[in-house]
Amino acid sequence: MGKVIGIDLGTTNSVVAYIDRGEPKIIINEEGGRVTPSVVGFSKSGERFVGDIAKRQMLINPDATIHSIKRFMGKRYKDAGNDLPLVNYKVSAGRNGDCQFDVNGRILSPQEASAMILQKLKKSAEDFLGETVSEAIITVPAHFNDPQRQATKDAGTIAGLNVLRIINEPTAAAMAYLHDRRKSATIAVYDFGGGTFDISIVHIDRELGEVRATRGNNALGGGDVDRVIMEWLIEQFRKEHGVDVANDKVVRQRLRDAAERAKIELSSALETEIQLPFLMADATGPRHLQCTLSRATFEAIAGPLLDATMEECRRALHDARMTVEQIDEVVLVGGSSRIPRVKELVREFFGRQLNQQFNPDEVVAIGAAVQAGVLEGEVKSVTLLDVTSLSLGIEIEGKRMAKLIPKNSCIPAQKLQLVSTVVDNQKTVKIHVLQGESGKADENTSLGEFELQGIEPAPRGVPRIEVKFVIDANGIVNVSARDSRSGVAQQLTIQAPTGMSRLEMERARDEAASYEKTAEHAGELKEVRFQIERQLTQIETLLRDQRDQLQRNDVQEADHALKRGRMALQKAQDRTNLEEVHGWLRRMLLALNEKVAGNGVH
């Protein structure tokens, strides 16, 4: 087995790590950074950008720049209302009502967009490690449901990765803590990321960790904090100029960018100046925005969001049947945990000094790498028992949900349920599987309807059908059924209402692989063109500085080389032809330098 990488596929930024001689290390990307913006952009010609360059184009081309993708993973459009105000690109309902993106007429699923980010992370890892990478551990928010986990795994498959395990982000952070500390403690992992919030209570006993409870909110993150600051800026502009710019996508993107920078600056300053010249123009001329945002005002407008995270902490302790006095340490995870008010609230709630030894942007990827190291055998075996964050059940009479595997059950988990027929000689039994906490069936996530056919005719209530529900180590649900009378068993595949079909997956994977080859070819072509441009510049410099030292025919050959090289750059797109010109120019340049040197010029 080759190197297994650990990936934190974040809403705002993504990080990839690996194990080197038993220790986790962050992989540096092509731009020299430790984090990669989770942003995908497209030019008008269809060229694709991922990471820093895509993030830079958000200000000028918001329609064609996809970000906050994680908020739409495995989600139906009708459930994405809280996520839509965070983005300026077009989100619509696709097949079966699942979310899809429309970029310059090109339709993309969230899985395909995430796969583009994973492809870049995969390439960065391969360039950094000098070997092919095909296997990965990918993290997800603890509160992700089954369709969201399946969508994340699908994204990895499209990107050409064999996803060995899907693990919860707080669990990954606890793995990093377990690897680093190896001591008995009960910790709270407060994970406030760019798009989601999780809190997990974890008990660690040297080499064994056990998640006691987990809570979360998949629609609460740093992006929401940016949104409320942006809305405050829109109101300030309206008060000053009497103009509402809320529906101008370019203006909104500039305001969101300014809001993010203001949030970061207020982590170290008590106030920040926000200056956006030429924010818009009308018949009266350009309009500018200049205002001061104090930390006190910021804390007031973001207060309800931050307080909501503390309510989740209370519920997590209640679910774990623990008190704050039983928590030994609090580990902060996610970039939004750097907000001073967040630290203050967490410190006050738990009554503990915060563990800030881990980089909140990197600790999840570090933990994923530790899990990868365990699978590879490079890390001394450490075990962390995770839990399911949502209950699993079935719909019963009265459109109610009967919970079979309650939330915070240790995973892998399974439950055997006996069902039967409700009418005489019934030949099929249909089971509607649900995930969530509401007693009403329609308020939970539907994982699909499962039907067992070919039941032997019998009076109602006589057949005994054993239906087994299993949540695997990835938190993904599987179902099987067995008729106890005949012994006939059947494996049932979840037909989730969201997600990609097998044919769509294969098509997306083939397209991703084809794009990777095309991009590699384009990169090689650009490199050859760059080398030709460099050689032409060197010949031009040599002629300018050393023309008097060359024979007339040498000057003519050099001029011919310049002309041929420029024509090749203008017309030729064939790599073989360009490489031929490149080689010819290299020989020409070498010969000219030798002749200049032979004339005693140094």
Q: Is the pLDDT of residue 346 over 50?
A: yes
Q: Residue 226 has what pLDDT?
A: 95
Can 55 be counted among the known catalytic residues?
A: no
Q: Is the pLDDT of residue 521 over 80?
A: no
Can 169 be counted among the known catalytic residues?
A: yes
**pTM of the predicted structure, to 2 decimals:** 0.83
Q: How many whole angstroms from its chain centre is CA 260? A: 19
**φ and ψ at residue 202, rounded to 5 degrees:** -125, 130
Tokens of 416: 């055997």
Q: Residue 602 has what pLDDT?
A: 41
Q: Find where tokens 């055997």 sit.
A: 416
Q: Find where tokens 């906050």 sit.
A: 68
Q: Which DSSP category does 455 fall into?
A: P
Q: Is the pLDDT of residue 362 over 50?
A: yes
485 Cβ neighbours under 8 A, 6+ residues apart: 456, 458, 463, 464
Which of 135, 146, 154, 169 is the catalytic position? 169
The angle, 0 to 180 degrees and rounded to 10, between the axes of the packed helices 552-571 and 502-546 is: 160
Contact present, 153 and 476 (Cβ < 8 Å) = yes
Mean pLDDT of 445-459: 78
Residue 601: pLDDT band with limits 50, 70, 90:
very low
- 3-class DSSP assignment, residue 523: helix
Q: Is the pLDDT of residue 493 over 60?
A: no
**Which tens digits make up the pLDDT trace of 387-415?**
888 888 888 878 888 888 888 888 888 88
Q: Which of 39-43, 174-178, 504-508 has the lowest mean pLDDT?
A: 504-508
Contact present, 342 and 192 (Cβ < 8 Å) = yes
**Which tens digits make up the pLDDT trace of 7-62?**
999 999 999 999 998 899 999 998 999 999 999 999 887 788 999 999 999 888 89
Radius of gyration of the chain (CA): 29
362 Cβ neighbours under 8 A, 6+ residues apart: 8, 15, 17, 26, 34, 35
Can 70 be counted among the known catalytic residues?
A: yes
DSSP β-bridge partners for residue 272: 293
Can 226 be counted among the known catalytic residues?
A: no
Q: Which DSSP category does 44 fall into?
A: T
Rounded distance between C-alpha atoms, residue 55 and residue 66, angstroms: 9
Q: Is the pLDDT of residue 596 over 50?
A: yes
Start-to-end Cα distance in the chain: 55
Closest CA to 225 of 120, 339, 312, 126: 339
Mean pLDDT of 148-157: 93
Helix-then-strand count for the chain, H and E: 12, 29
Q: Is the pLDDT of residue 64 over 80?
A: yes
Which of 135, 146, 154, 191 is the catalytic position? 191
Q: How many CB atoms are located within 10 Å of the residue 586 CB? A: 14
Contact present, 453 and 481 (Cβ < 8 Å) = no
Q: Find where tokens 């309510």 sit.
A: 311
